Structure 1
Amino acid sequence: MQYPDEAHRLRDWTRGFVAGNPTDTLALLKDLTTGVGNGIFYQAREDEGTQSPVETLNRGWGSCRDFSVLFVEAARSLGFGARIVSGYLDNRKENLVGQNMTGSTHAWAEVFVPGAAWITFDPTNRSVGGFNLVPVATGRGIYQIAPVSGSYAGPTNMLDHMSVEVELR
């Protein structure tokens, strides 16, 4: 786990999705995906950084990266190996959450399930499988997969904006 949870807020919230012992693994992860998407209000954020899972639970809202961090940490609290993926959402039908314009980045998660390998979960859109996701980077933590990073040294008036456009074919 990457984020502190001294009061066990995340652990207790996550355990509410466990139907019994034993439980069906895929059903549990699907319920967790739906639980994040139904229990947390989606709100696009342009500011840098990611909320901690406990902060997202307490606020009741977050961006796709906040949803993904919450989902991954919840899955890890249940003993699963999980990672975060950054890329783009193929939303040409304009029926999904998490993309405001052409070129918007999106974040989701993958969980390792023995016998099935890595399975894609998009808690923002309450979906399983990556048919509409274009992965660019994968990492243990969200800080490892920033879509754009770097620095600029020079006169402040030389670079006034940056734009990205992605065309899906």
Structure 2
Amino acid sequence: MPRVSINHSTTYRYSTPVALGPQRMMLRPRETRDLRLIDFDLEIAPTARIDWSNDVEGNAVATAGFDCTSDTLAIHARTIVDLSAPVWPVFPIAANASQYPFAYSADDRTDLGTLAQPQYVDTAGRLAGWVEAFVMQRPTDTLSLLKDIANGVSAQIAYQSRETEGTQGPLETLDRGWGSCRDFAVLFAEAARTLGLGARLVSGYLYDPAGDRVGTSGTGSTHAWVEVF
């Protein structure tokens, strides 16, 4: 079980002192069966009041408030976690969902809410047509379908790091033929939702000791991926 230390630092610098508004941060990892949080520490300069809360998905949210002006805002989070996930995980699928299409239970449909509904306008049905090409037949193996979509994104879209804020829409990524990991994730998630599957975006870090994977810099890089329910 590898123990990983994550240091995340962000610094903002201003030409003159400014009044700092509330800062909302999601830096504390959420524990799962494959990830155990050992230690977490959050340091902010200038001194701030930190209020903790949880969002609707159970993520820990820190909101920092300030009583002074400053020409610098520095945020540093230090995390230590134990990872127990296998290098090549096997993803078991519930028997009732092993073949696509399948129906969510009424309770699951309620809990998933908009996560199972497309988030972007696709009036001409371009994205629907694109993802439908991966459905070889009905019924078809669900995991194989998801793998085919993921491989299709990887094969058709070139990776390109972007420093600009936000994400590209799925059709924008298809038209450009390139995107960052978060653009890949948006495209994959929206494709899954178009097929009626519940999907959400997840952000975190790549555990890559060798630092030789596409999109990495050093032994750890921020990353975005998708979870499908």
Say whether the fold is shared (TM-score over 0.5): yes
Unaligned runs of 5+ in 1: 113-169
Q: 2:200 aligns with which of 83, 98, 103?
A: 83
Contact 1:82 1:111 survives alignment (8 Å)? yes
Q: Which residue of 2 aligns with 1:36?
A: 153
SS at match of 1:7: coil
Alignment TM-score, normalising by the size of structure 1: 0.64
Contact 1:83 1:111 survives alignment (8 Å)? yes
Contact 2:203 2:222 survives alignment (8 Å)? yes
In the alignment, structure 1 residue 53 sits paired with structure 2 residue 178? no
CA distance in 2, matches of 1:5, 1:97: 30
Contact 1:68 1:108 survives alignment (8 Å)? yes
Indicate the structure with greater strand content: 2
Alignment TM-score, normalising by the size of structure 2: 0.47
CA distance in 1, matches of 2:160, 2:205: 17
CA distance in 2, matches of 1:70, 1:109: 10
Q: Aligned letter for 2:179?
A: G
1:83, CA displacement in angstroms?
0.5
CA distance in 1, matches of 2:126, 2:217: 31
Q: C-alpha deviations, 1:11-50, integer Å up to 9, x for none?
A: 1110010010111100000001111011100000111110
Q: Aligned letter for 2:161?
A: A
In the alignment, structure 1 residue 69 sits paired with structure 2 residue 197? no
1:98, CA displacement in angstroms?
2.3
Q: Which of the pair has the greater relative contact order for Cα pairs under 8 Å at 6+ separation?
A: 1
CA distance in 1, matches of 2:219, 2:208: 9
How many pairs align? 112
CA distance in 1, matches of 2:215, 2:203: 12
1:95, CA displacement in angstroms?
3.3
Q: 1:94 aligns with which of 197, 203, 211?
A: 211
CA distance in 1, matches of 2:152, 2:203: 21
1:97, CA displacement in angstroms?
1.8
Unaligned runs of 5+ in 2: 1-117
| Identity value in percent | 63
SS at match of 2:228: strand
Q: 2:139 aligns with which of 14, 22, 47?
A: 22
Contact 1:89 1:98 survives alignment (8 Å)? no
CA distance in 2, matches of 1:93, 1:31: 27
SS at match of 2:215: coil
Moved over 6 A (4+): none
